[in-house]
Amino acid sequence: MSFVIATPELMTSAATDLATIGSNLSAAHAAAAARTVAVVAAAADEVSAGIAGLFSQFGQDYQALAAEVAGFEEQFEQLLTDSACLYAFIEALAASYLQSTVTLEEGLVGDVVAMPSLLLDPGTYFEAIAPILFPFFLPVLIPLAVIFWLLVFWLAEMGAFRGLFPYGFLA
């Protein structure tokens, strides 16, 4: 039993919500940057200047980390949008494949009913229909392979395979 609900509409809606959250956070970071990056010393002594410098460094570190997180959020949003489009494409492809399979099955059943002798020698019948069946499988397998390798390379870019392959493959 699967507990995952993946519809293109929900994925696109989630990507839009994520983009809205990201833009709101970016606006908040930009508004806070001026006050947190350059903290003014409270007095003219060395201790106040040192504390202000320390807080300014914390502010700069925070802004750098916020920019890195924003970049990750944008990558995730793009991946979610691309996945929704690809999922919709594969869903349409699978529906088309299933419809053509039903049509093909109806034709095969009609052939067997018309010529029951085909059941006695199925080899010649399979040789006749093999070129017809193969193109139906190919459009389904290619997008699935593309999704698999996109996921593998994205995970490798995120560092999921770090240390698993000592010779540099996917490391």
pLDDT at 37: 84
Q: Residue 69 falls within a domain, yes or no?
A: yes
Phi-psi region of 170 (alpha: psi -120 to 50; beta: other; left: phi over 0): left
Domain that holds residue 92: 8-157
Q: According to the 3-state scheme, what is the secondary structure of 108-148?
A: HHHHHHHCHHHHCCHHHHHHHHHHHHHHHHHHHHHHHHHHH
* CATH code: domain of residue 130: 1.10.287.850
Q: What's the CA gap between 21 and 42, in Å, rounded?
A: 35
pLDDT at 24: 92
When divided into structural domains, the chain yields a total of 1
Consecutive 10-residue averages of pLDDT for the chain (171 residues): 72 89 89 84 87 90 89 87 82 77 70 64 62 63 76 74 57 45
Q: What is the pTM of this model?
A: 0.53
pLDDT at 171: 45
Q: Residue 135 falls within a domain, yes or no?
A: yes
Whether the Cβ atoms of residue 97 and residue 144 lie closer than 8 Å to each other: no
Q: Residue 73 falls within a domain, yes or no?
A: yes
pLDDT at 137: 64
Q: Residue 143 falls within a domain, yes or no?
A: yes
Report which DSSP code applies to 41.
P
